[in-house]
């Protein structure tokens, strides 16, 4: 089995499917898994319809991508724990030591970069399908090569993937330039509610469960909204707080300078990267705003 994390992104799904193609190329059976299924914007990925949301084990081998902990991959984490052997391929910083083999490099812009290197080291043949999946992983985790995580290695790997026929402009168009009507209206409401802290360091906004229900929005419709929140001139951190139907609050954090938002997210049981992180706070929306701004030493 190959599985990525809950609420999958392009890196998680791209790596899962690239490995599926590579393993099938070896003539071996493989089950690609994503407990939350494939969001609309990633359904064009070659092999996306093979992704299962559950499976029955036991498996000979579990490969976990873009996540270091079995609990980050949801209910199917049990299958990973019970597999005869385990491999973790990831670029998040974490304290976890899950996996007999761990290919973890926090300097990689995307897990796709690491998967590319592993396939190369193993001298496995590349195909356009594999290249499309891995370039999608890189394009999405770097926001089309705009984020601070991009290194010269990111471009070297991407250039190699382009030689197998993968197209960054096509991927960006499919993933970033195409949205549902509900997601654009949700963005409108989020921007309308945008606020900046008294000291001007932090911009934040909220999406209520009512907004969500009125627009008929789905989880994936919140994708990318926090990037707009961070765009306010002079701010270091952008925060999106979304009230979940059950009453908890999902918090997405983005920073643009030296503020380590993963450390803030970890305080609330979440995690992520230096400049992109998230967590869930069990409280009312207003209380979550107070708590998260307090953690960043700011007031509304």
Binding residues (CB under 5 A) for Mn ion: these are 11, 66, 111, 141
Cβ–Cβ < 8 Å for 45, 51: no
| CA count, 13 A, side-chain hemisphere, 1 | 30
Which of 36, 39, 33, 41 lies closest to 15 in space, CA to CA?
Answer: 33
- Smallest separation (angstroms) from Mn ion to the CB of 172: 17
How far apart are the C-alpha atoms of 10 and 174, rounded to whole Å? 11
Length of the chain: 300
- Which is nearer to Mn ion, 104 or 190 (by Cβ)? 104
- Which is nearer to Mn ion, 73 or 207 (by Cβ)? 73
Residue nearest Mn ion by beta-carbon distance: 11
- Smallest separation (angstroms) from Mn ion to the CB of 5: 8
Cβ–Cβ < 8 Å for 140, 9: yes
Which of 54, 65, 9, 26 lies closest to 278 in space, CA to CA?
Answer: 9
Q: Is the peptide bond before 58 cis (omega within 30 degrees of 0)?
A: yes
DSSP-derived pairing of the beta strands 202-207 and 195-196? antiparallel
- Which is nearer to Mn ion, 11 or 129 (by Cβ)? 11
Cβ–Cβ < 8 Å for 262, 250: no
Cβ–Cβ < 8 Å for 241, 230: no
- Smallest separation (angstroms) from Mn ion to the CB of 138: 9
SS3 79: helix
- Smallest separation (angstroms) from Mn ion to the CB of 191: 26
- Smallest separation (angstroms) from Mn ion to the CB of 72: 11
- Which is nearer to Mn ion, 205 or 271 (by Cβ)? 271
Q: How many CB atoms lie under 10 A from the CB of residue 212? A: 21
- Smallest separation (angstroms) from Mn ion to the CB of 16: 12
How far apart are the C-alpha atoms of 233 and 235, rounded to whole Å? 6
- Smallest separation (angstroms) from Mn ion to the CB of 254: 15
How far apart are the C-alpha atoms of 33 and 17, rounded to whole Å? 9
- Which is nearer to Mn ion, 79 or 114 (by Cβ)? 114
- Which is nearer to Mn ion, 141 or 223 (by Cβ)? 141
**Can you say whether the dihedral through the CA atoms of 263, 268, 273, 278 is positive or negative?**
negative
- Which is nearer to Mn ion, 90 or 236 (by Cβ)? 90
- Smallest separation (angstroms) from Mn ion to the CB of 66: 4
- Which is nearer to Mn ion, 8 or 243 (by Cβ)? 8
């Amino acid at each position: 089995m190959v599985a990525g994390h809950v609420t999958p992104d392009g890196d998680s799904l791209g790596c899962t499917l690239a490995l599926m193609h590579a393993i099938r190329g070896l003539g071996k059976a493989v089950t690609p898994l994503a407990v939350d299924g494939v969001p609309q914007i990633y359904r064009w990925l070659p092999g996306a319809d093979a992704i299962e949301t559950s499976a029955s084990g036991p498996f000979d081998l579990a490969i976990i991508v873009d996540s270091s902990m079995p609990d980050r991959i949801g209910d199917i984490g049990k299958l990973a724990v019970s597999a005869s052997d385990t491999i973790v391929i990831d670029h998040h910083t974490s304290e976890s030591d899950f996996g007999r083999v761990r290919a973890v490099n926090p300097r990689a812009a995307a897990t796709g970069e690491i998967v590319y290197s592993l396939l190369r080291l193993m001298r496995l043949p590349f195909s356009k399908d594999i290249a499309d999946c891995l370039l999608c992983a890189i394009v999405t985790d770097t926001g089309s090569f705009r984020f601070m995580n991009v290194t010269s290695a990111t471009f070297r790997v991407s250039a190699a993937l382009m030689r197998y026929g993968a197209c960054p402009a096509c991927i960006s168009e499919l993933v970033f330039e195409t949205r549902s009507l509900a997601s654009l209206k949700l963005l409108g409401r989020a921007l309308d509610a945008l606020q900046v802290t008294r000291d001007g360091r932090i911009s934040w906004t909220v999406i209520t469960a009512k907004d969500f229900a009125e627009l008929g929005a789905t989880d994936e419709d919140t994708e990318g909204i926090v990037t707009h929140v961070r765009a306010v001139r002079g701010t270091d951190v952008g925060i999106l707080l979304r009230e979940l139907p059950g009453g908890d609050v999902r918090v997405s954090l983005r920073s643009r300078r030296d503020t380590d938002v993963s450390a803030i997210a970890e305080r609330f049981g979440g995690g992520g990267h230096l400049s992109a992180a998230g967590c869930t706070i069990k409280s009312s929306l207003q209380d979550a705003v107070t708590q998260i701004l307090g953690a960043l030493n700011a007031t509304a």
